[in-house]
Amino acid sequence: MTEGQPQGVTRVLIIAWLVLVAITILEVSLILVFRVAPGVRVAALILLALMKASLIGAYYMNLRLERLAMTYVAVIPLTLLVLMLISILPDAASLLRRP
């Protein structure tokens, strides 16, 4: 792992925190303030959640500083997890159509 200058790292972490807080405010606003179509809202919330998760992984869990192979150890199982989530959607849809 490598590190930059002390002030630079602190600044980057503060910026990451501000972005995460801004995304959280936007998420709440999508529910309480803005009137958007449910489909758009769901897509936006999922996208915002993935952005937050990426920021936390990169900056708070320092994946941005690790060797690429180490990043794969973390990212590949989580990618498979997303595929598993997608694979249950047909089952969930059939449950929805159940009388």
Partner 1 sequence: MTGGVDATPVPESGQQGLAVRWGGGRSPWDVSWGKLMMWLFLISDAMTFAALLVGLWVTRLGSPTWPNRLEIINLRFVATMTVILLCSSTTMALAVFAIRQGARRQAVWFLAATIAAGLVFAGMQATEWTHFIGEGARLTGNPWGVPAFSFTFFAITGLHGAHVLGGIVYLWIIADRIARGLGSAEGVEIAGLYWGFVDLVWVFIWSSIYLL
Sequence-separated (6 or more) residues with CB below 8 Å from residue 49? 27
Residue 6 in contact with partner 1, rule: CB under 8 A: yes
**C-alpha distances in angstroms, 54 versus 12, 43, 67, 72, 74?**
15, 17, 16, 14, 12
34 lies in the binding site for partner 1 (CB under 8 A): no
Residues of span 41-60 touching partner 1 by CB under 8 A: 42, 45-46, 48-49, 52-53, 56-57, 59-60
Asked whether position 35 contacts partner 1 by CB under 8 A, the answer is no
Dihedral over alpha carbons 50, 54, 57, 62 (to 10 degrees): -170
**CB of residue 37 vs partner 1: minimum separation in angstroms?**
14
Q: Do residues 42 and 31 make contact, with C-beta atoms less than 8 angstroms apart?
A: no
CA distance 28 to 75: 27
Instruction: Name the site residues for partner 1 (rule: CB under 8 A).
Output: 3, 6, 9-10, 13-14, 16-17, 20-21, 24-25, 27-28, 30-32, 42, 45-46, 48-49, 52-53, 56-57, 59-62, 66-70, 73-74, 77-78, 81, 84-85, 88, 91-93, 95-96, 98
